[in-house]
Structure 1
Amino acid sequence: MRLVVIGNGMVGSRFVEDVLARDHAGKYDVTVIGAEGCEPYNRVLLSEVVAGRYDLGSLTLPTPDHPRLTVLRGTAAAAIDREDRVVTTTDGSRHRYDQLVLATGAEARIPPLAGLDLGSGQLPVGVHALRSIDDAREIIAATLNSRRAVVLGAGVLGIEAASGLAQRGCSVTIIHPMDALMERQLDGSASSVLASAMPDVGIHPRIGVGAEAAIVANGRLTGIRLTDGDVVESDLLLVATGTIANTGLAAEAGLPCERGIVVDDSSATADTRIFAIGDCAQPPNGAMGLVAQGWDQARALAERLTGATTRARGTDGNGSDVVRVKAHGLDVVTMGICGGVRPDDPAQRTLSLSDPAAGRHVEVVVSGDRLVGATCIGAGQVAADLVAVYTRRTPVPSDPAHLLLTALSPAPAAVTSPESLPDDAAVCRCNSVTKADIREAHACGARTVDEIAQATRATTGCGGCKDEVCGLLGWLNEHAATAVG
């Protein structure tokens, strides 16, 4: 059968890898149509590239070398003919399919600010989004001659990008029209604690005020006028105001689209031969905007199409909604139920500890004997402990206040040693990689983080597990050396 995949990003490439790994019967010949001319790469870590903590080459994701796989890089799909079951590309070539998977992702949303002539298709010099490798290159180049930067939007990406620009030596103002930073994850109290910590790392927040216009002279940005009349001088604007799902191909082909391509729980569209996964899709329960959700969709669809399943990696019942902000000096972790808008559930108990002077805020949400949500700012070890409780569904103490005791203690909590970590404990939650998976890869010869990543995919998601993987790998190497001795 002819399986065509449109999109060669993080989710599309993962889907192809999963299909080929499961297609033992050789059912599919796979063609991938990717608009970008490079190998697939980890978009989640682009802000880390801006900050100088990763180089662009380290973001590359593996592409299977397989006789039934054809990858067309630098080739954009132009139209889908559902009746004839053909995808036409911009170079005029035609690709027939028996089944079609749309993994077209999303593009940066550029707000209609005065001064930005969006109709021209070209932004003024100094105005950037951060969605691709090319965007990251341009931003890094711009920081060489920029000292004052504005970031528009204080969601996760906006804060990470602001941190990256500050690391590059820019004085950064972050503008957010909502009442709270990261309002999907933080309520007003948590936002206030985070905002108070930002100036110490070179970021100056303006909350509850929006951007009204970009001030442009001779085609170059010079400042941003705010809705309260203030003008922030700037020679670099980074827009982080969300994304827009790439639904154009699907809509033109007559598939139902709303905020994304409408799909059912199995990622199927209204056309039973066409599926959509990742940022372009709109599943029944909504999209979280996290790569782990897209990877879960890719795995589930690969299993459906091939009829083959593999051993479930990890035993965690949740964890794909754990958010870690990758920002120097700003320690923010959230999970589950959090933020200012929550369901009114009398069965849930909320306990919090807020100490703005110390830059610390911890909140837990408990239902029955389970942790169903948490917010941690400036409390790294507490966050690590709570993530373990949340993802492993560990019963909480009868008095949930004990979950906050490590935050109250002047001494850090004891870190779980690799030796005492259960084999089924998730180490990389983006990819559901357990300690047992890493031990198995080590036993098969993986001795470096890169080799572990190649064997298990650990560290190839948000990157937040790299320290845990390094610690576990060090313990395994030491244990192996002792056994030999």
Structure 2
Amino acid sequence: MTRVVVVGHGMVGARFVDDLHARDARKAFSTVVLGAEEYEPYNRVLLSEVVAGKLEVAAITLPRAQHKAEVLLGTVAVCIDRTARTVTDQAGEQHPYDLLVLATGARARVPDLFGRRGADDLPAGAHALRTLDDAREIVAATVNARRAVVVGGGVLGLEVACGLAGRGVHVTVVHGGPHLMDRQLDATAAAVVTGRLTGLGVSVRVSARTEEAIVRGGRVTGVRLEAGETLPADLLVLTAGTVAEVDLAQRAGLDVARGIVVGDDLATLADPRVCAIGDCAQPPEGGTGLIAQGWDQARRLATRLTDSGQHESLPTIGTDVIKVKGAGLDVVTMGVCGRPRGEAAPGRRVSLSDPDGGRHVEVVVRDGRVVGATCVGAGPVAADLVAAYTRGTPAPLDPAQLLLRPVAGSAAPAATPVKMPDRAVVCRCNGVTKGDIVGCWRHGSRSVEEVAAATRATTGCGGCKDAVCGIVDWLQQTDPDQPAPVRERVSTP
């Protein structure tokens, strides 16, 4: 039996273990998982929803798969001996392996505002948002906080800002880039986003570097910007990106750049018995930092191992769709979006911008397919474009039709899932179709929770939960294949 040690019990490490055992028909693998946190795996993507008060902590726990992996919670790997093929934990116990999978993830990047302090040594009132404990501490801090500064105007920063504003805290977002979400949006789209945030009571500073956190009596009281402006704050949230956790790999002599360098097979270059997946990995195509890529890597590695090296040829398009989960802020981007117009062969771009209405939509079409899109304040358009992008359906000859008809309101969404084809993807993060949900229902899953446990729908970004609930409700009312209620048998004398 092949002994697999997995370092990391987050969303990607746990998914890999689930996928490996689900595919291991011959029971050829045993797994030991070392998890630094003392919790069962939870959906890190939804931490901002906890901060906003939209979800309780218990609601983001991931469904538990039924397998016999040995999971050691609160166990930190400190050393890898590649010659002896062992991993040593903080208690000195050694864990032998035939294959080692590193899923150590990433930690919050802490700007140089406090000297050499890291995320675990911040003054009172300052918090990163990367773990469940971080989210709990931020929620507790909002009870007495009146003014908050969020450093970082990316996706997470905007989600946190909306959540804090919804709790009645006056929020200022400080971003060093030329405009908000500058990795995904162009200046025009970002201006619309800024307008929507302003309407929510969130102030914005862009092209503004935070020079120093002002700390008095061991507590944050404000931040000073590079230009000299001082912003008072009794809550400081750091959402300035992440840094791949590569220290363990580096000490083991593995190739490390921004992440642990791996090949197409996800094995490290120096040692084919050591693989890396998720945020800690740096594959040939580069890391996106999105959970869909990590889950795709987990699936691919599990398939390669159980198929004796044969690669699974499933499409990976759609792993770069980004949705901002901010109350009052609706932003979706995908593919080639927010890129300079001078890039080589970007495709045909069509855009519609309505700043006064808080809307901006742009679609990029190449070779008859949607290869990128940006949607701000246009939910129905975003849903249509995500479907077209992830499914690769042919685009109209006039790409403007992708924008004009839904925005004009001439196309109403279907009242029930009756007309939705079975191949329609409902949960993009996990590739779950309407047909998968119907099949799961007919095999006995009778609630959203049971469907989630069987298919993993709703366990990614959470954006599909309403759709899944709608399909389950529809099936409860209309499915002719529901088993009849069990009636008591009355025995006759």
Q: How does the TM-score come out when normalised to structure 1?
A: 0.95
Alpha-carbon distance between aligned partners in 2 of 1:2 and 1:420, rounded to the nearest angstrom: 47
Q: Give the equivalent residue in structure 2 for 1:162.
A: 161
Structure 2, unaligned runs of 5 or more: 485-493
Alpha-carbon distance between aligned partners in 2 of 1:76 and 1:198, rounded to the nearest angstrom: 40
State the Cα deviation string for residues 120-162 of structure 1 (Å, max 9, x = none): 9611110000100100110011001101001000111111111
Describe the shift of the 1:342–1:38 C-alpha distance in structure 2 as closer, same or farther (beyond 3 A). Answer: farther
Q: Which moved more, 1:411-420 or 1:8-17?
A: 411-420
Counterpart amino acid of 2:343? D
Q: By how many angstroms is 1:467 displaced?
A: 1.2
Q: What percentage of aligned pairs have identical amino acids?
A: 55
Q: Give the equivalent residue in structure 1 for 2:358.
A: 359
Determine if the alignment matches structure 1 residue 27 to structure 2 residue 31.
no
Q: Give the equivalent residue in structure 1 for 2:10.
A: 9
State the Cα deviation string for residues 190-219 of structure 1 (Å, max 9, x = none): 000100110222211111111111011011
Q: Give the equivalent residue in structure 1 for 2:111.
A: 111
Describe the shift of the 1:407–1:208 C-alpha distance in structure 2 as closer, same or farther (beyond 3 A). Answer: farther
Alpha-carbon distance between aligned partners in 2 of 1:96 and 1:178, rounded to the nearest angstrom: 46
Alpha-carbon distance between aligned partners in 1 of 2:466 and 2:246, rounded to the nearest angstrom: 38
State the Cα deviation string for residues 160-209 of structure 1 (Å, max 9, x = none): 11111112211110011111211111000000010011022221111111
What SS does the corresponding residue of 1:331 show, helix, strand or coil? strand
Q: By how many angstroms is 1:445 displaced?
A: 2.1
Describe the shift of the 1:98–1:359 C-alpha distance in structure 2 as closer, same or farther (beyond 3 A). Answer: same
Q: By how many angstroms is 1:17 displaced?
A: 0.4
Alpha-carbon distance between aligned partners in 1 of 2:119 and 2:151, rounded to the nearest angstrom: 21
Q: Give the equivalent residue in structure 1 for 2:447.
A: 448
Q: Give the equivalent residue in structure 2 for 1:260.
A: 259
What SS does the corresponding residue of 1:419 show, helix, strand or coil? helix
Counterpart amino acid of 1:307? D
Q: Give the equivalent residue in structure 1 for 2:138.
A: 139
Q: Give the equivalent residue in structure 2 for 1:288.
A: 288
Asked if structure 2 preserves the Cα contact closer than 8 Å seen for 1:211 and 1:227, the reply is yes
Structure 1, unaligned runs of 5 or more: none
Alpha-carbon distance between aligned partners in 1 of 2:249 and 2:316, rounded to the nearest angstrom: 33
Determine if the alignment matches structure 1 residue 79 to structure 2 residue 79.
yes
Describe the shift of the 1:97–1:397 C-alpha distance in structure 2 as closer, same or farther (beyond 3 A). Answer: same
Determine if the alignment matches structure 1 residue 393 to structure 2 residue 392.
yes
Q: By how many angstroms is 1:228 displaced?
A: 1.6
Alpha-carbon distance between aligned partners in 2 of 1:408 and 1:353, rounded to the nearest angstrom: 9
What SS does the corresponding residue of 1:325 show, helix, strand or coil? strand
Q: How many residues align?
A: 481
Counterpart amino acid of 1:104? T
Q: By how many angstroms is 1:62 displaced?
A: 3.2
Asked if structure 2 preserves the Cα contact closer than 8 Å seen for 1:116 and 1:124, the reply is no
Counterpart amino acid of 1:34? G
TM alignment of 1:175-186, pairs within 5 A: 175-186=174-185
Counterpart amino acid of 2:25? H
Q: By how many angstroms is 1:308 displaced?
A: 7.3
Q: Give the equivalent residue in structure 2 for 1:330.
A: 329
Alpha-carbon distance between aligned partners in 1 of 2:403 and 2:394, rounded to the nearest angstrom: 15
Determine if the alignment matches structure 1 residue 47 to structure 2 residue 45.
no
What SS does the corresponding residue of 1:174 show, helix, strand or coil? strand
Q: Give the equivalent residue in structure 2 for 1:235.
A: 234
Q: Give the equivalent residue in structure 2 for 1:18.
A: 19
Asked if structure 2 preserves the Cα contact closer than 8 Å seen for 1:102 and 1:274, the reply is yes
Alpha-carbon distance between aligned partners in 1 of 2:12 and 2:394, rounded to the nearest angstrom: 33
State the Cα deviation string for residues 442-464 of structure 1 (Å, max 9, x = none): 11222221111011000000001
What SS does the corresponding residue of 1:400 show, helix, strand or coil? coil
What SS does the corresponding residue of 2:100 show, helix, strand or coil? strand
Alpha-carbon distance between aligned partners in 2 of 1:269 and 1:144, rounded to the nearest angstrom: 46
Asked if structure 2 preserves the Cα contact closer than 8 Å seen for 1:116 and 1:214, the reply is no
Q: Which moved more, 1:427-436 or 1:398-407?
A: 398-407
Alpha-carbon distance between aligned partners in 2 of 1:61 and 1:119, rounded to the nearest angstrom: 28
Asked if structure 2 preserves the Cα contact closer than 8 Å seen for 1:213 and 1:226, the reply is yes
Q: Give the equivalent residue in structure 1 for 2:88.
A: 88
State the Cα deviation string for residues 243-286 of structure 1 (Å, max 9, x = none): 00000010000000000000001110020100000000000010
Counterpart amino acid of 2:220? L
Counterpart amino acid of 2:67? H
Q: By how many angstroms is 1:116 displaced?
A: 4.7
Asked if structure 2 preserves the Cα contact closer than 8 Å seen for 1:79 and 1:88, the reply is yes
Asked if structure 2 preserves the Cα contact closer than 8 Å seen for 1:116 and 1:123, the reply is no
TM alignment of 1:57-76, pairs within 5 A: 57-67=58-68, 69-76=69-76
Alpha-carbon distance between aligned partners in 2 of 1:309 and 1:424, rounded to the nearest angstrom: 29
Counterpart amino acid of 1:112? D
Alpha-carbon distance between aligned partners in 1 of 2:33 and 2:331, rounded to the nearest angstrom: 37
Alpha-carbon distance between aligned partners in 2 of 1:443 and 1:176, rounded to the nearest angstrom: 49
Alpha-carbon distance between aligned partners in 1 of 2:90 and 2:430, rounded to the nearest angstrom: 34
From 406, 413, 416, the counterpart of 1:415: 413
Q: By how many angstroms is 1:420 displaced?
A: 1.2
What SS does the corresponding residue of 1:326 show, helix, strand or coil? strand
Q: By how many angstroms is 1:63 displaced?
A: 3.6
